[in-house]
Amino acid sequence: MKEFSETAKSLSKNPLGIIALFIVLVYAVAALVTTFASSLEQTDRTPLIWFLVLFPVLVLGVFAWLVSRHAEKLYGPADYRDEENYVKMQLTAAASLAIATTQRPGVNVQETDFSQIADAVGGVIPGERTSDDSWQSKILWVDDRPENNVYERRAFEALGLSFSLALSTDEALELLKSNKFAAIISDMGRKEGPREGYRLLEAIRAEGNDTPFFIYAGSNLPEHKLEAANRGAQGSTNNPEELFRMVTRAVITRKGRLTKG
């Protein structure tokens, strides 16, 4: 009993453990009921039999959905090597995103729900890099005014991600010839033209490069999001919090897929 109590205490530290405890509890109750079921009529035992048959299928379905859609929320601070570093990461990333939001042109600060920033940061698992130059933790950011995105980059860097900066489409394409990246973020209009973001996207897709690509521009209109998706981008926004959420999800998903492969 003491061993079970210690196991339960350790499992209760994160959502995955709580799910496991719930399943154990349900089957423990089912086992007790089954012990006394032999004295019941066949019609009385039918609901119990159906429950025992269908419950594992239901659990498997829910677990598959959680892993595929919300894997980053299945972990708690105790899953990290250093919980203090986890808290510092959360605070640094959230503060940087909040500052970026207040400074971002086109974002209505009065209508911004800053609790979403905390949710976005809280739902991210910091990646462990195998080396300082691991491409799986590196993002290419293309913008002719990188000083406008300082706080956005700080939020990502709090997670252990790093950046290569390019000021033009040609510079970005040159970097892509000899480097791999976990994701690419690009503005739209640059000195070369008003739709350079799409020109860069078309160029890398023409070369068969399927690196997740995100537009970070001055518009968040639905028609612009749709156009970006139709052209092969994984997202388009002018909101720092939304960019953070989309890019980190793409990086984590891609890294997990490569690890499994």
Domain ranges of the chain: 2-73, 82-260
Q: How far apart are CA 207 and CA 242, in angstroms?
A: 28
- The confidence band for 61, taking pLDDT boundaries of 50, 70 and 90, is confident
* pLDDT at residue 132 in the model: 47
Give the CATH number of domain 82-260: 3.40.50.2300
67's tokens: 């892993």
Is the per-residue pLDDT at 99 higher than 50?
A: yes
Are residues 12 and 20 in contact, defined by beta-carbon separation less than 8 angstroms? Answer: no
Are residues 15 and 79 in contact, defined by beta-carbon separation less than 8 angstroms? Answer: no
Per-residue buried b or exposed e for 59-83, using 16+ beta carbons within 10 Å of the residue's own CB: eeeeeeeeeeeeeebbbbeeebeee
- The confidence band for 12, taking pLDDT boundaries of 50, 70 and 90, is low
Check residues 73 and 95 and name the one with the higher pLDDT.
Answer: 95
Is the per-residue pLDDT at 215 higher than 70?
A: yes
Is the per-residue pLDDT at 194 higher than 80?
A: yes
The full DSSP string for 47-103 is HHHHHHHHHHHHHHHHHHHHHHHHGGGS--GGGSS-HHHHHHHHHHHHHHHHHHHHH
